[in-house]
Amino acid sequence: MNLLDYLPGVPDFPRPGILFRDISPLLAHPAAFKEAILQLEALAREFDYSHILGIESRGFIFGSALAHQTHKGFALARKPNKLPLASHRESYGLEYGSDSLEIQQSTLPQGVRVLIVDDVLATGGTIIAASQLLQKAGFEVAGALTLLEITGLNGGATLNQKGIANRTVLVA
């Protein structure tokens, strides 16, 4: 099964010039979704971690399914003003705009090693912000794992330069 068949590119969304990879067909196809989680699980074995951080919103889907599959804990990196307890915030740029993420200070035991999981790696801005949040909150960044890296934006190389070990299932 070629998982890219289930991640079609939609031209000029959400802005002209962006080829947006839609995860909806993959999620709607049980065997493709299962295969995606199994391939993420295989790459996750390369990391030493006890918890997964999922990034709102598409990172929640893959991160939580992977946490369930691998028997790891799961934590939320949320868009602003969604978390009820004291939180850290980071702002960042991404392929088609800018945004902010927050994590709760008290979510995980201090010092645990956390694997960041998201659907897509484009510029790397989102994962760098997530990594900074984890460090601010006193957690160790085990690395970052994505289903798809968008070519031409050097997200993987950017993460490497920042010292964030990263693996992706697909590149397109």
Ligand X SMILES: Nc1ncnc2[nH]cnc12
Rounded distance, CA 133 to CA 145, Å? 16
| Residues 109-148 as x/- pattern, contact with ligand PRP by CB under 6 A | ---------xxxxxxxxx----------------------
Known catalytic residue at 58 = yes
Shortest CB 97 distance to ligand PRP, Å:
7
The entry of ligand X, ligand PRP, none near residue 155 (CB within 5 to 8 angstroms by kind) is ligand PRP
Which lies closer to ligand X via its Cβ, residue 112 or residue 153?
A: 153
Question: Which sign does the torsion angle of CA 97, 159, 116, 12 carry?
Answer: positive
Count of beta carbons in the 10 Å neighbourhood of residue 167: 18
- Look-up of token digits 């694997």: 115
Count of beta carbons in the 10 Å neighbourhood of residue 111: 9
Confirm or reject binding of residue 156 to ligand PRP (CB under 6 A). Answer: no
Residue 114 contacts residue 53 (beta carbons within 8 Å): yes
Residue 90 contacts residue 129 (beta carbons within 8 Å): yes
Shortest CB 150 distance to ligand PRP, Å:
8
Confirm or reject binding of residue 150 to ligand X (CB under 6 A). Answer: yes
- Side-chain half-sphere exposure of 170, counting CA atoms within 13 A: 21
Known catalytic residue at 102 = no
Shortest CB 111 distance to ligand PRP, Å:
26
Confirm or reject binding of residue 149 to ligand PRP (CB under 6 A). Answer: no
- Look-up of token digits 């484009």: 122
- Residues within window 49-68 making contact with ligand PRP, judged by CB under 6 A: 55-59
Which active-site residues does the annotation give? Answer: 58, 95
Residues at the interface with ligand PRP (CB under 6 A): 55-59, 94-95, 99, 118-126, 155
